[in-house]
């Protein structure tokens, strides 16, 4: 068994040396000066450090311990991976006073917040202020697997995903950042008749919306992903334009460009309350003073219910912990492996450096804000691996982390302007696919704030759809099938 590198810190921008200074200049300077991020997965440029995934290097790998999935998830990994949301330990609050007024205050500096800030600033909106209580990207965003796709069962998710894919493809030009985009495709493996039927129907709808997805048989699955055991496989849904990219780089790109365009992005500032006057938004109370504003955008991810409650707008967003693992370098790893998902179990993996990133949902996980790691999910994971990719069971584990899914009752986002509290806008509840929707959602929220018709009609995503659920009607819920 090979020794493996243990990740001891979580993935977020705050952990690169430059980011101990969270000031605006520091981050925008990095956005301008930092060299292109090396590859995350597969191929020649995947890693310059002996195959250690780029994101582990970002996190500072400084312990070496063995790990092996068949023998057990090494206890030291679980012990040493921290409950890493410790803003007080890592973030120096900015000393400069906050502005007293802003045209728009965005709460949350994850991928949504920085995308919204960028799109507003690019549209010429002045005095945009983003407030993040910890470091940019330190919530769910930098815990994401980085998967990007347009393969969904809900047409609005397809359109948000497809529009965002276009933006990711042009990210180097706008906003201007290398994001290590790998369009290696998404491959949903299907072994149940009813799932095949559901995916056939979804693929047909995706094709109608211009997405180049198709159903493939076991032979093509073996060609696309030789790691997969296909004996019991009926079919798979394949979309070659999907793939993955680096969340930290996306945050960096949007944040740097937003700042260059004049937006204020402040870290280490917690929003404590939303003030209203005459029923409309009037300002925010923060750990660093009060800011008057007519518009608050809630982009607080898993913590959005709290922000909604401050404004008197119920946002049904529930946090659930999710864990992912990294493997050691794998000899002869086939190049260009797709994001491969065993749909029945949700076990998934994609190339990361010269190894793999892998994850899976845990139906026994209760709702909580926990982000510590443990091994309770590993028996289920290894069962799924044994069934679908048994060769991976002998691969060593080098580390992993846990983050939060921000889940709504129908696993589809909440995007809209409050009808009861004018000036309160929300973009949250992405239920595990928010990273991939951030570019399009940034455009949509820009339009909502400006009062323009949104680039996509997201009216069905308003929180009002759950009012009818409470009244006993499920007419307006939009259950998404292609969940990971
Ligand atoms: C293990 C894992 C894998 C995932 N994989 C994928 C994937 O492959 N593809 C994909 O599309 N999505 C994936 N996701 C989901 C994705 O990470 C989220 O949907 C997305 O990051 C949400 O972004 P956000 O900006 O809305 O939230 P966040 O990134 O959580 O940002 C919200 C921010 O708000 C801040 N905040 C909260 N309250 C306050 C306050 N009172 N004052 C100031 N700031 C506050 C928080 O500190 C946080 O930084 C994954 C998630 C996890 C956990």
Among 40, 113, 141, 480, the mutation site with the greatest number of ligand 1 atoms within 8 A of its Cβ is 141
Q: Ligand 1, closest atom to CA 135?
A: 49
69 or 180, higher pLDDT: 180
11 lines ligand 1 (CB under 6 A): no
Q: What is the pLDDT, as a whole number, of residue 114?
A: 98
In contact, 406 and 304? CB cutoff 8 Å? yes
3-class SS of residue 475: coil
CA–centroid distance, residue 163 to ligand 1 (Å): 20
Q: What is the pLDDT, as a whole number, of residue 468?
A: 61
Question: pLDDT, tens digit, for every residue of 229-262?
Answer: 999 999 999 999 999 999 999 999 999 999 999 9
413 lines ligand 1 (CB under 6 A): no
CA 189 to chain centre: 22
Q: pTM value? A: 0.85
Question: pLDDT, tens digit, for every residue of 105-146?
Answer: 999 999 999 999 999 999 999 999 999 999 999 999 999 999
Q: Ligand 1, closest atom to CA 437?
A: 11
The answer, yes or no, to whether residue 10 has pLDDT greater than 80, is no
CATH number for 92-484 (one of 3.40.50.1950, 3.40.50.300, 1.10.10.60, 3.50.50.60): it is 3.50.50.60
Q: What is the pLDDT, as a whole number, of residue 170?
A: 98
Task: Name the percent of the chain lying above pLDDT 90.
Answer: 75
Domain residue limits, the chain: 2-89, 92-484
E-assigned strand segments in 193-268: 214-216, 235-239, 243-244, 264-267
Question: pLDDT, tens digit, for every residue of 323-352?
Answer: 999 999 999 999 999 999 999 999 999 999
Which of the residue ranges 59-73, 240-254, 459-473 has the most confident prediction, judged by mean pLDDT?
Answer: 240-254
Across all residues in the chain, what is the average pLDDT? 83
Average pLDDT over residues 40-63: 35
What the block records as the tokens of 277 is 């006057």
What the block records as the tokens of 253 is 């790109």
3-class SS of residue 135: coil
Q: Whose CA is nearest to atom 4 of ligand 1?
A: 144
Cα separation, 314 vs 323, whole angstroms: 28
Q: Ligand 1, closest atom to CA 406?
A: 19
Helix (H) or strand (E) holding 256: helix 247-260
CA 89 to chain centre: 24
Question: pLDDT, tens digit, for every residue of 360-370?
Answer: 999 999 999 99
107 lines ligand 1 (CB under 6 A): yes
Which of the residue ranges 39-43, 50-54, 424-428 has the most confident prediction, judged by mean pLDDT?
Answer: 424-428
Q: What is the pLDDT, as a whole number, of residue 79?
A: 31
CA–centroid distance, residue 105 to ligand 1 (Å): 18
Q: Could you give the strand order of the β-sheet that contains 280-286, starting from the edge strand earlier in sequence?
A: 271-277, 280-286, 289-292
Which of the residue ranges 64-73, 83-92, 388-397 has the most confident prediction, judged by mean pLDDT?
Answer: 388-397
The answer, yes or no, to whether residue 44 has pLDDT greater than 80, is no
CA–centroid distance, residue 141 to ligand 1 (Å): 4
Q: What is the pLDDT, as a whole number, of residue 12?
A: 35
Cα separation, 271 vs 286, whole angstroms: 4
Nearest residue to 269 (alpha-carbon basis) of 145, 136, 149, 178:
136
Pairing of strands 264-267, 128-132: parallel
Q: How confident is the model at residue 475 (pLDDT cuts 50, 70, 90)?
A: low
Question: pLDDT, tens digit, for every residue of 169-218?
Answer: 999 999 999 999 999 999 999 999 999 999 999 999 999 999 999 999 99
Q: What is the pLDDT, as a whole number, of residue 476?
A: 66
Average pLDDT over residues 383-402: 96
E-assigned strand segments in 22-167: 61-66, 104-107, 128-132, 147-148
Cα separation, 428 vs 6, whole angstroms: 32
435 lines ligand 1 (CB under 6 A): yes
CA–centroid distance, residue 139 to ligand 1 (Å): 5
CA–centroid distance, residue 472 to ligand 1 (Å): 31
CA–centroid distance, residue 302 to ligand 1 (Å): 7
113 lines ligand 1 (CB under 6 A): yes
439 lines ligand 1 (CB under 6 A): no
Q: Ligand 1, closest atom to CA 436?
A: 11
Q: What is the pLDDT, as a whole number, of residue 94?
A: 57
Cα separation, 194 vs 175, whole angstroms: 42
Cα separation, 441 vs 415, whole angstroms: 8
Cα separation, 335 vs 144, whole angstroms: 22
432 lines ligand 1 (CB under 6 A): yes
Q: What is the pLDDT, as a whole number, of residue 325?
A: 97
405 lines ligand 1 (CB under 6 A): yes
Q: How confident is the model at residue 469 (pLDDT cuts 50, 70, 90)?
A: low
436 lines ligand 1 (CB under 6 A): yes
What the block records as the tokens of 297 is 């955008």
Task: Name the percent of the chain lying above pLDDT 70.
Answer: 79
């Amino acid at each position: 068994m090979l020794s493996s590198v243990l990740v001891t810190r979580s993935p977020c921008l705050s952990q690169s040396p430059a980011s101990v200074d969270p000031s605006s200049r520091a981050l925008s300077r990095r956005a301008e000066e930092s060299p292109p991020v090396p590859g995350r997965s597969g191929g020649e440029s995947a890693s310059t450090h002996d195959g250690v995934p780029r994101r582990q290097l970002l996190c500072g790998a400084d312990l070496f311990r063995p790990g092996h999935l068949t023998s057990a998830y090494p206890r030291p990994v679980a012990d040493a991976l921290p409950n890493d949301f410790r803003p007080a330990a890592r973030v120096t609050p900015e000393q400069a006073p906050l502005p007293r007024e802003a045209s728009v205050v965005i709460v949350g500096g994850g991928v949504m917040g920085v995308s919204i800030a960028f799109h507003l600033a690019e549209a010429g909106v002045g005095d945009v202020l983003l407030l993040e209580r910890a470091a940019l990207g330190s919530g769910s965003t930098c815990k994401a697997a980085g998967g990007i796709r347009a393969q969904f069962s809900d047409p609005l998710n397809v359109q948000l995903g497809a529009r965002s894919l276009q933006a990711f493809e042009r990210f180097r030009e706008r906003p201007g950042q290398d994001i290590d985009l790998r369009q290696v495709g998404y491959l949903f493996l299907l072994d149940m008749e009813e799932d095949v039927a559901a995916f056939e129907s979804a693929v047909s709808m995706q094709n109608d919306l211009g997405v180049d997805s198709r159903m493939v048989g076991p032979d093509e699955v073996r060609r696309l992903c030789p790691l997969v055991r296909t004996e019991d496989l009926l079919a798979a849904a394949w979309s070659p334009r999907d793939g993955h990219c680096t969340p930290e780089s996306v945050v960096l790109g949007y944040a740097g460009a937003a700042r260059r365009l004049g937006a204020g992005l402040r870290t280490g500032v917690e929003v404590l309350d939303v003030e209203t006057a005459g029923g409309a938004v009037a300002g925010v109370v923060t750990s660093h003073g009060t800011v008057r504003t007519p518009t608050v955008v809630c982009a607080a991810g898993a913590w959005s219910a709290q922000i909604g409650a401050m404004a008197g707008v119920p946002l049904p967003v529930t946090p659930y912990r999710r864990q992912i693992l990294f493997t050691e370098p794998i000899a002869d790893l086939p190049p260009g492996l797709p994001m491969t998902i065993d749909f029945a179990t949700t076990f998934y993996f994609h190339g990361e450096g010269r190894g793999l990133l892998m994850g899976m949902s845990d139906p026994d996980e209760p709702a909580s804000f926990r982000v510590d790691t443990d091994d309770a999910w590993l028996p289920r994971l290894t069962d799924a691996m044994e069934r679908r990719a048994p060769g991976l069971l002998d691969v060593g584990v080098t580390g992993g982390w846990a983050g939060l899914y921000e889940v709504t009752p129908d696993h589809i986002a909440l995007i809209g302007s409050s009808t009861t509290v004018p000036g309160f806008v929300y973009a949250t509840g992405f239920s595990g696919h928010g990273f991939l929707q951030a570019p399009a959602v940034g455009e949509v929220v820009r339009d909502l704030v400006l009062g323009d018709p949104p680039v996509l009609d997201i009216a069905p995503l308003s929180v009002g759809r759950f009012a009818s659920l409470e009244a006993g009607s499920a007419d307006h819920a939009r259950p998404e099938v292609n969940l990971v």
